[in-house]
Structure formats: structure tokens, C-alpha cells
Amino acid sequence: MEFQELMMGDEMVINPELRERTEHASIGSYTHPYLVRDRGEELAFVSLDYNSIEEQLVIYEIFVHSGVRHGGIGTHLQQIIESVAIKRGYTEILLHARPLDHRTQKSDLRAWYEKRGYEWQDDDQDTMLKCLKPPPP
């Protein structure tokens, strides 16, 4: 899988569903949007916040286009993101689990993240956190 960083107004996204997500994505000063491809096929849009001051990598968005969902792509993306976070020295990953389309139920999304080790934060019903463990030396 290849992560290609996008620039504002980038016209390179072909898949209409992914193009719409990129056009509506919020971009902050630390936020990096990526188009994810595998062997040239556009699979997903990912938006990450690399804030060097915080110990948390923030996942703003993971959106797998509907034609390839339920095939393990989201799980694989999550593993790649966690590996990148550990390599960059982050100890936690923070995200807000909210469906990005009408096909995804919030309860299913929450269960998906819980299965992957994310825990709910008491102060917010959408905020989830995962503590990362670096690989053994």
C-alpha cells in the first residue's frame, strides 16, 4: 500500500467518493492528508495530525471507499498508522469515531475500534485513545 500526500486543491484523485472526501477534509497546520493506493487502485483517504509537541498522533479521518470495504483495508491502514506513530515517537493515538457516510453505523464503528485496542475516553462519547507499545529491542 502506498500513501501519497495530497496538497490543497489537488486534482489527482479519480474516484468520485474519495475526491469528495478530500474536498471536504479539514486541514490544520499539522494535518497531512493522504490518498492510499494499492497497485494503482485508489482505496482510501487518510488524514493524520503530526503535532511534535504532543505525545499523541491524531487520526482525523480514515475513509475506505465503499467498493472495497470489508476486505481488511481499514485494519491494514490502522496497522500502518500505528507503526508510523511508534517510529515517530508517539505513545498514543487519538481519534473521534464518527461515521463519514450513511452506510456506517456508529455502534459498528465503535466496535471496530474497540476490537483493535482503542478505549473510550470518559469526557467525550466519540473520543477514543490507544496506548502504543514500542516493539521490543
What is each CA distance from 109 to 7, 42, 62, in whole angstroms? 28, 22, 11
Torsion angles phi and psi, residue 57, rounded to 5: -85, 135
Q: What is the mean pLDDT of residues 77-82?
A: 95
Convert the pLDDT of each residue in 44-73 to its tens digit: 999 999 876 778 999 999 999 999 999 999
Convert the pLDDT of each residue in 81-132 to its tens digit: 999 999 999 999 999 888 878 888 888 888 999 999 999 887 667 899 999 9
- Angstrom distance (rounded) from CA 29 to CA 20: 21
Amino acid 9: pLDDT: 62
Q: Domains in the chain, please, with CATH?
A: 2-131 (3.40.630.30)
Amino acid 10: pLDDT: 63
In the three-class reduction of DSSP (H, G, I as helix; E, B as strand; rest coil), residue 134 is classed as coil
How many CB atoms sit inside 10 A of residue 65's CB? Answer: 21
Convert the pLDDT of each residue in 13-36 to its tens digit: 999 999 998 888 877 788 899 999
